[in-house]
C-alpha cells in the first residue's frame, strides 16, 4: 500500500521492484505477477514476492491469519531467502 508521506522509490528501487513482481510467490509458488511485500517499510531491497493470497488474504495471508505461512513453517526471512535466490542468476 502506498501511503501519502512515503517517499517514492528511486529508479534503482523501481527496477528491483519490477523484477520481484515477475517472480512466483515465495511461499506457495503461485505463478506471477506477484505483489512486492516490504518486510520493512521503504526498504525495497528486502522486499518479498508474494501472491495475493499469501500476502493480503485474510486467512492465508501475511497481513491476515498467516495460515499459508504456518503450514510451511515460514516467516518473512525464509520468504526473502526464496525471493533473493530466484533473483540471482
Ligand atoms: Zn502464495
Ligand atoms: Zn505486505
pLDDT tens for the 89 residues of the chain, in order: 555 667 889 999 999 999 999 999 999 999 999 999 999 999 999 999 999 999 999 999 999 999 999 999 999 999 999 999 999 99
CA 89 to centroid of ligand 2, rounded, Å: 25
Q: Which ligand is nearest to the CA of 79?
A: 1
CA 40 to centroid of ligand 2, rounded, Å: 9
CA 29 to centroid of ligand 2, rounded, Å: 17
User: What cell does 58 get?
Assistant: 485474510
CA 7 to centroid of ligand 1, rounded, Å: 27
Count other Cβ atoms within 10 Å, centred on residue 10. Answer: 10
Instruction: Count Cα atoms within 13 angstroms, Cβ side, for 79.
Output: 33
Contact status, residue 52 vs residue 35, Cβ threshold 8 Å: yes
CA 62 to centroid of ligand 1, rounded, Å: 10
Residues 6+ apart with CB under 8 A from 20: 34, 36, 47, 48, 49, 83, 87
Amino acid at each position: 500500500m502506498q501511503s501519502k508521506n512515503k517517499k517514492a522509490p528511486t529508479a534503482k528501487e523501481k527496477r528491483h521492484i519490477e523484477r520481484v513482481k515477475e517472480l512466483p510467490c515465495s511461499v506457495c509458488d503461485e505463478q506471477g505477477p506477484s505483489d512486492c511485500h516490504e518486510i520493512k517499510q521503504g526498504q525495497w531491497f528486502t522486499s518479498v514476492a508474494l501472491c495475493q493470497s499469501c500476502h493480503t488474504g485474510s486467512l492465508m495471508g501475511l497481513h491476515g491469519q498467516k495460515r499459508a505461512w504456518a503450514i510451511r513453517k515460514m516467516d518473512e526471512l525464509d520468504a526473502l531467502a526464496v525471493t533473493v535466490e530466484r533473483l540471482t542468476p
